[in-house]
Structure 1
Amino acid sequence: MRDHPTIYFIRHGETDWNRDRRYQGQRDIPLNETGRAQARRNGDVLRTLLPDPSRTRFVASPLGRTRETMEIVRRELGLAEADYDIDPRLIELSYGAWEGTLQDDVATQDPDGTAARRVDPFRWRPSGGESYADLFARVKGWAGAQTGDCVVVSHGGVSRCLRADVLGLDPGLIPSLESPQNRVLVLENGTMRWV
């Protein structure tokens, strides 16, 4: 573990592809109504966590689902919706050829890739995509550059990698970490909690 500013991390709200268990990756899939409600809920929770939201930096992945989530969160906080930063390092893991495929169908459509992923889920890379090792390096670079507390709206893979970096977890655990869409993750003083 290392010293780090407090990060309030929100995974984007649910999309239809999340609901259907379809690999989404870097495809720009919009929120559904459940996702918008999750974003409102997380904005309401942030109101209780941030002493002065106007003095906190807000940053999001460039994808539409994270930006819409961020704008809903900021609206719940009474802040200007569009007044936040975008950082491409916070974009989701690319699943390459798997994007658009139902999780239940991928073993049939790519049995070799599925077998390789089982052997080493951290380093396995789908055709045309990224491994969690690739994503971890990208997120670690972003995290190491942070100097002040911030609210982040990003993706499940980014959340997993960020926790491994900030909390000093074994990177091999990254693919198995949970990443709910209806909770705020607070990373503070070498600890984490879901709110």
Structure 2
Amino acid sequence: MELTDHHHRSQPEAALEPPAVPALPRPLSLTVTRHGQSTANAAFAAAEAVGALDTGITCRDADLSLTTLGRTQATALGRWLASRADGPLPHSLYVSPYLRTQETAELVLAEIDRAGLPLPDVRIDERLRDRELGILEMVTKAAIELHHPAEAARRRLLGELRWRPPGGESLADVALRLRSLLRDLYETEASRRVLLVGHDAVVLMLRHIIDELDEASLIAVDREGAVANASITRWSRTSSGQLKLDCYNTTAHLR
């Protein structure tokens, strides 16, 4: 039967609106750290300091291990967590599947165990993996400008949030998988303390999602400085049930 104007007018206004979706409960706190310094972190810093085209890295991004400094940073992070006076230990620890994050988590857990404290439940979650750069994985900025000038120009035009290298991910792609992870955390970790061990892109995109940063605000945060190895970023649940940023990219525990 064809609807008439009368039929349209007879529909209650409220019936056209989607039903409200109740907010999911939040963890008591959500803390994220970047892994300790990796061999690639050190190699890229050395290469870019002199404009070199090659880092000498030949393994997969997922197989990069910690440097001696990175292990020291991870141990310091674990020692700080085990001796914190400003709050209790996490109930759950979620870790990226990459080797450098696995090594970081193991060193953190070793310090908690050494202090005789209860260990958190540990879960590996691939959604915490680092941003995938496709054909530009392990390629220095100088090499990208020389060998992939069109891609370098496209990167500058689109901006880091939207630019997706061939075969890789944009930061917005990383945010998409982290939204899925957060929804699961809200369902399974309500009223628990959660620690995530991930990568710089993970930390930055969690700021983007949880703090509802638009692109301009996100760029401003990024320009303040890179996410430091073994740094701490933490949100705590407010009386209204939302997560509020306590600290971002802090490294005082490493000194």
Smaller-chain TM-score bracket: 0.7 to 0.9
Which residue, 154, 164, 167 being the options, matches 2:211?
167
| Separation (CA, whole Å) in 1 of partners of 2:66 and 2:119 | 16
Q: Residue type of the partner of 2:245?
A: T
| Equivalent pair of 2:91/2:121 in contact (CA under 8 Å) | no
Which residue, 122, 132, 135 being the options, matches 1:97?
135
Give the match for residue 78 of structure 2.
43
Q: 1:56 to 1:34 in 2, by over 3 A?
A: same
Give the match for residue 173 of structure 2.
134
Are 2:222 and 1:184 equivalent residues in the alignment?
Answer: no
Give the match for residue 86 of structure 1.
124
| Equivalent pair of 2:96/2:127 in contact (CA under 8 Å) | yes
Q: Residue type of the partner of 2:43?
A: D
Q: Residue type of the partner of 2:228?
A: P
Give the match for residue 65 of structure 1.
100
Which residue, 174, 182, 199 being the options, matches 1:155?
199
Question: Which deviations, in whole Å up to 9, do the C-alpha atoms of 1:163-192 show, x marking residues without a partner?
Answer: 111111114554662311142211224114
| Equivalent pair of 2:112/2:119 in contact (CA under 8 Å) | no
Q: Unmatched 5+ residue regions in structure 2? A: 1-23, 45-54, 237-242
| Equivalent pair of 1:122/1:132 in contact (CA under 8 Å) | yes
SS in structure 1 opposite 2:209?
Answer: helix
| Separation (CA, whole Å) in 1 of partners of 2:177 and 2:76 | 29
Instruction: Report how far residue 46 of structure 1 moved.
Output: 1.7
Q: Residue type of the partner of 1:191?
A: L
Q: Unmatched 5+ residue regions in structure 1? A: none
| Separation (CA, whole Å) in 2 of partners of 1:50 and 1:62 | 29
Give the match for residue 11 of structure 1.
34
| Separation (CA, whole Å) in 2 of partners of 1:3 and 1:82 | 20
Larger Rg: 2
| Separation (CA, whole Å) in 1 of partners of 2:69 and 2:131 | 23
Instruction: Report how far residue 52 of structure 1 moved.
Output: 4.2
Q: Residue type of the partner of 1:71?
A: E
| Equivalent pair of 1:132/1:174 in contact (CA under 8 Å) | no
| Equivalent pair of 1:25/1:92 in contact (CA under 8 Å) | no
Instruction: Report how far residue 110 of structure 1 moved.
Output: 1.2
Greater Cα shift, 42-51 or 97-106: 42-51
SS in structure 2 opposite 1:17?
Answer: helix
Q: Give the aligned CA root-mean-square deviation in angstroms.
A: 2.7
Instruction: Report how far residue 119 of structure 1 moved.
Output: 1.3
TM-score by length of structure 2 reads 0.68
Instruction: Report how far residue 102 of structure 1 moved.
Output: 2.0
TM-score by length of structure 1 reads 0.87
Identical amino acids, percent of aligned pairs = 27
Are 2:163 and 1:124 equivalent residues in the alignment?
Answer: yes
Q: 1:127 to 1:11 in 2, by over 3 A?
A: same
| Separation (CA, whole Å) in 2 of partners of 1:83 and 1:101 | 36
Q: 1:153 to 1:185 in 2, by over 3 A?
A: same
| Separation (CA, whole Å) in 1 of partners of 2:121 and 2:141 | 36
